[in-house]
Structure 1
Amino acid sequence: MDSFNEDSLIVTQANKLATASYTLTLEEKRIILLMASLIRRDDEDFKDYVIPIIELQKYLGLRNKNFYERLRDICKKLRSRPVSINQHNGDWLEIGWIDSAEYKSAKNNELGYSCLILSFSPKMKPYLLQLKEQFHSYMLSNVANLKSIYSIRIYEILVSFRRKGKVVLEVDSLRKMLQVEHKYLNFKDFRNRVIIPSQRELQEKSDLCFEFVEIKKGRRVHEVQFIIHEQECPTQTERKSVPLPNQLRIFQETGAEKEQDELYEKNVQRLLDTGVRKKIALQMVKEKEPSHVEENIEYALTLFMRSKKEDKDLASLMIASIRDDYTAEERKKRRKKEEADLKRKKREWKTKESERLKAKKTEKEREKRENRFGSMNSKDKEDLFKAFEESGKLNSFMKKKWSRNNPTYGIAGSIFLLFMDEYLKQKVNKEKKVSCSGIPSYFSNKIKQLS
């Protein structure tokens, strides 16, 4: 079974589509992504996308007996799913994702196998075709293994801001994009059910990870700042390949080959323009990677422009640059720098994640102490206050910051809660000693050993 070629299946879409407001299930989103990845850069119109059923079944991970009923239900719902896109000057657009979904059995089509034929809604053209600005691209393999629709959505939103490295989004706007404005009204639920699970899954399975900072307005979390990090896909060597229909793979490879051919021809022409003989130009370009040839041509031009010698032979310089690969060392340095940057980002991420987990643990421990204090009766609290005030744990400055009315507040409150832990432990130990008095020494020793 052939699998996805990670270097050829690329999803390209307008940034507005990433931040649009819509609801899709995981299976529906995967179908849309597969369709989008089959659009070629030079396509001027949408095509019908033919996907073999047997391979679509594996791609979607649906192996149950009622697959055909499930697929029809997915396509029906997908046709009715709206996507809301905000335009300039307060304008908006409500459109559907697909124009049609057609199933053809093996006996009823010329291809000889059962297939699903899908087509995008024509109104989607400005957001998927002939994109020149305000768009982003990513490899389908970076999201193909994600199990949460929220992870995929947040990935797409963050990819559209990848170059900036960070973005601040209003909580209400983010809820609206994900269509959960009526589902997780409490930010804590939204954070724990949507943001944090997505953060973990992206870190484990994708080429992008993020940190986030809650920005409050008053007592309410009003905005979230996402800090975006790029990483080597952690599961790239481990993850299972996602099956791709044979003719779709060929279609994509043909597109990749076409791009290589175009670059090959461009490089040959540039060499000819500088006076390199055609036979030599063809031979040199054929022997080297097109991208490496292109880099060396640019490098040779730079050297030529810097040279003060009027009789400098550009053609000879081009040949030498390509033959001896003048940019090899530069590529090596660039690769090392990229690897070093990646390692540094990973270290920073691990450090910050460790600090976050420690802070979370400390917060939980403090919460437990506060709950323990809250469950104490008035007499026990009075005894605790008296013991704390007599303990000398607070200096004269800290004493002014602490009061019985709000004993757990601030740094002084933290000291009070830690003191409470020790105080209660000592109290329990004293009670054990009292309970053991009057018991024969043999049993008393046994009880002490067990305690």
Structure 2
Amino acid sequence: MATKKQKTPLTTDSDIKLIRKANELVEARYKFDIWETRVFAYMLTLIKHNDTDFNEYTINTGDIVREFNLHDSGLVYDSIKKAADKLLDKKVEILRTTAEGKREYFKTHLVASTANPEEGAKENYIKLSFHPALKQFLLELKARYLVYDIRNILSLTSIYSVRLFELLKQYQKIGKRKFMLDELKELLSIESHEYQLYGHFKGLIKRAEKDLAKYTDIYFQFEEEIQKRKVVAVTFYIFENTKNQRLKVESVASSKVTEKSSESTSDNDEVEKLFQKVEKYVTKQQVKKWVGEVPTEQIEKAITYTIHALESGKKIDNIGGFLNTMVYTPNLFDKYEAKKEKVKKVTKKATDQKSEISFLKEKISILQQEYEKALSELDKRYLLENPELYQEIINKIQANSFYDYKQTLESNLERDSIKGLRTAILLEMFPDYQSIMNRFNKEITILYERLSKLNGNH
């Protein structure tokens, strides 16, 4: 008989519990059941951001029951205790990069020890400690790691929904992630005898699609790549789920940063004149930076274009970021708007559902091409003029687990996984990339939602 869930307790952002793990651990090979997933996830929230070593963590089993909104019963408590014992035998296989730059498969246990009260005791707890070999993947993380609010997975009851959430959450800023079918099954730890028919495996993906849309701060739509009537790859398009937004990790960090101002009474008339037009969106220091690096005519054009867009009803989430991108990338969005006008004319020809579906796919393709061109424009401005910076990015790419040393650098850079990694690196280094991505992803999201309704996927 299905157990009845308790009413979910109100959780505030001050109660936020974060899970942090290196990307190598996210993409590692291991298989949990849902109880092991819950216990291990709760363990991860007990690691403090500045910890340099593991502790033995004491967990009140009632806390897990409350945290995951489980039915308060002896059976549930027994399942939690058994999960702790089973974790002791679990191994993980991680593809890591050594200090010498070599790629190797590293295998280790996840948990070093576990303990619980003797039979008949009044206490109800479990004690666990992480295996010391996991330090490099869980402590003092500085680069290439995933962090998210545990509340995203509290209501997920499928281990595959949890794994897919983490794998897609890694690529949220990029907005897209492609897997070869065999690669995806391996990452989800699906055995060769499981889900042999694609239709059954697709059911797993569809369930995750519903789960993430209902419970997490991201959702996805997916597209199948078919060769010779067989699905060989799946591309996931990842979107922010506005109805389930938690306190963003970036906002926690940024709230601790005090913005420094270097304003002086010697601001020239040019800066003052420009600043009066955009003071709602950017700081005077930003305008000073523009004047020192970009011709005034170009700045004026960017301001005029942005204000005109706002007055015409265009919704821009980050006006300051959009304006900054326009200042440093002249004519970029002029071309984009021209493409949009061209697409609008095509809309009038969509007289039935079939032609409208075709039109939407064409429009998405156009926007994706424009997105790539926009990034290419920034590449020219940032990288071609700075070879040292380009080499630094290449070094980071070559250190990634998806880099194939059997192929040439040029071949690697053409692969989707490496393209996504390269974009992720640039997003961290330059805010302009984020502004461009936000603009195009929002447009593409709307189109996919319309396409989904036409296809009957509500």
Q: TM-score range by the shorter chain?
A: 0.5 to 0.7
Instruction: Give the Å deviation of 1:235.
Output: 8.6
Per residue, is there more helix in 1 or in 2? 1
Give the equivalent residue in structure 1 for 2:131: 121
Instruction: Give the Å deviation of 1:350.
Output: 2.7
The alpha-carbon distance between structure 1 residues 90 and 307, as it changes in their structure 2 partners (threshold 3 A), is: same
The alpha-carbon distance between structure 1 residues 31 and 196, as it changes in their structure 2 partners (threshold 3 A), is: same
The alpha-carbon distance between structure 1 residues 203 and 345, as it changes in their structure 2 partners (threshold 3 A), is: farther
Give the aligned residue type for 2:104: D
Instruction: Give the Å deviation of 1:115.
Output: 2.2
The alpha-carbon distance between structure 1 residues 327 and 197, as it changes in their structure 2 partners (threshold 3 A), is: farther
Native 8 Å contact 1:207 1:231 kept in 2: yes
Q: What are the Cα deviations for residues 59-101 of structure 1, in whole angstroms up to 9, with x where unaligned?
A: 3525333445433321221111222112345520122221112
Give the equivalent residue in structure 1 for 2:31: 23
Partner Cα separation in structure 2 for residue 290 and residue 83 of structure 1: 36
Give the equivalent residue in structure 1 for 2:154: 144
Residue of 158, 167, 172 corresponding to 1:157: 167
Native 8 Å contact 1:51 1:116 kept in 2: yes
SS at match of 2:155: coil
Query: Within the alignment, does 1:58 sit opposite 2:38 as a pair?
Result: no
Partner Cα separation in structure 2 for residue 230 and residue 147 of structure 1: 21
SS at match of 1:22: coil
Give the equivalent residue in structure 2 for 1:169: 179
Give the equivalent residue in structure 2 for 1:185: 196
Query: Within the alignment, does 1:102 sit opposite 2:115 as a pair?
Result: yes
Native 8 Å contact 1:9 1:140 kept in 2: yes
Residue of 87, 94, 100 corresponding to 1:85: 94
Give the equivalent residue in structure 1 for 2:205: 195
- Between structure 1 and structure 2, the one with the greater Rg is 1
Give the equivalent residue in structure 1 for 2:79: 70
Native 8 Å contact 2:93 2:106 kept in 1: yes
SS at match of 1:226: strand
Aligned length: 288
Residue of 301, 307, 327 corresponding to 2:267: 307
Partner Cα separation in structure 2 for residue 76 and residue 290 of structure 1: 40
Give the equivalent residue in structure 2 for 1:213: 223
Query: Within the alignment, does 1:45 sit opposite 2:53 as a pair?
Result: yes
TM-score, scaled relative to structure 1 = 0.55
Q: Percentage identity across aligned positions?
A: 22
Give the aligned residue type for 1:355: L
- What's the RMSD between the two structures over aligned residues? 4.0
Q: What are the Cα deviations for residues 280-308 of structure 1, in whole angstroms up to 9, with x where unaligned?
A: xxxxxxxxx755xx13x2xx23x459935
Native 8 Å contact 2:225 2:234 kept in 1: yes
Give the equivalent residue in structure 2 for 1:229: 239
SS at match of 2:128: strand
Residue of 317, 337, 340 corresponding to 1:337: 317
Q: How does 1:391-406 map to 2 (within 5 A)?
A: none
SS at match of 2:74: coil
The alpha-carbon distance between structure 1 residues 95 and 6, as it changes in their structure 2 partners (threshold 3 A), is: farther
Q: What are the Cα deviations for residues 413-436 of structure 1, in whole angstroms up to 9, with x where unaligned?
A: xxxxxxxxxxxxxxxxxxxxxxxx
Partner Cα separation in structure 2 for residue 203 and residue 27 of structure 1: 22
Instruction: Give the Å deviation of 1:190.
Output: 0.7
The alpha-carbon distance between structure 1 residues 204 and 6, as it changes in their structure 2 partners (threshold 3 A), is: same
Native 8 Å contact 1:46 1:119 kept in 2: yes
Give the aligned residue type for 1:190: F
Give the aligned residue type for 1:357: G
Native 8 Å contact 1:17 1:85 kept in 2: yes
The alpha-carbon distance between structure 1 residues 216 and 344, as it changes in their structure 2 partners (threshold 3 A), is: closer
- Please, which runs of 5 or more residues in structure 1 have no aligned partner? 238-258, 264-288, 310-325, 361-451
TM-score, scaled relative to structure 2 = 0.54
- Please, which runs of 5 or more residues in structure 2 have no aligned partner? 1-7, 270-277, 284-309, 320-437
